[in-house]
Amino acid sequence: AQRVTQPEKLLSVFKGAPVELKCNYSYSGSPELFWYVQYSRQRLQLLLRHISRESIKGFTADLNKGETSFHLKKPFAQEEDSAMYYCALSPTSGSRLTFGEGTQLTVNP
Amino acid sequence: DTGVSQDPRHKITKRGQNVTFRCDPISEHNRLYWYRQTLGQGPEFLTYFQNEAQLEKSRLLSDRFSAERPKGSFSTLEIQRTEQGDSAMYLCASSSPGTSPYTFGSGTRLTVV
């Protein structure tokens, strides 16, 4: 069975501080990992995926297969980063996504 | 708007009534997915289609739930004999062949009273 765990439901940081949103997963194979973001009153949208190895809006995420983690990081948080962040796993490209419960990030001025 | 559209945005219904939601995916996407999201939880998979074929259904999808995609374009999700536990946001998403990143719709919020 596949499972995604986001241990922090709420995370609050000050503007300019580093931020790390934790994600751990359990899956026996080599899944695809994603981070989705939902800003207030907007639809869920893809932030980044592990196979792209890119930085979006200053966020990066590294897949650590040994620790089965896919933590999301940003060195300097901005107020506009305040949103709900979901980590998700897909066993194969295009198949179902399993989401974590989400972390509500608040960046204070 | 060329995104995924869902209708209606909100639905309030009495317990025991039937409801139907519609999803129009991005036109070139052949995969369409339904998810359900309750307060404080991440989206949970319900079912997905490739073209008109329903390829997978979650155990969450009880006999009261049925989804169709008759012509491989739009899809409908029907809930019969609604219960208060069905109150949730119902999300639709679509994707291109062989790619994972979905495009999500804004969702239909169902409230069963």
Percentage of chain B exceeding pLDDT 90: 80
What residue has token string 């994603």? A34
Contact B45 A102 (CB under 8 A): no
Query: Who has greater pLDDT, A29 or B35?
Result: B35
For residues B36-68, b (16+ Cβ closer than 10 Å) or e, as one string?
bbeeeebbbbbbbbbeeebeeebeebeeebbbe
Question: With bands split at pLDDT 50, 70 and 90, how would you rate the model's confidence at A8?
Answer: very high
Query: Who has greater pLDDT, A95 or B12?
Result: B12
- Per DSSP, A59 falls in state B
Q: How many CB atoms lie within 10 A of CB A10?
A: 9
Contact A101 B100 (CB under 8 A): no
Position A13 pLDDT exceeds 90: yes
- Which chain A positions have a beta carbon within 8 Å of B98's beta carbon? 93-94
Position B84 pLDDT exceeds 90: yes
Q: Report the pLDDT value the prediction gives residue B46, as an integer from 0 to 100.
A: 96
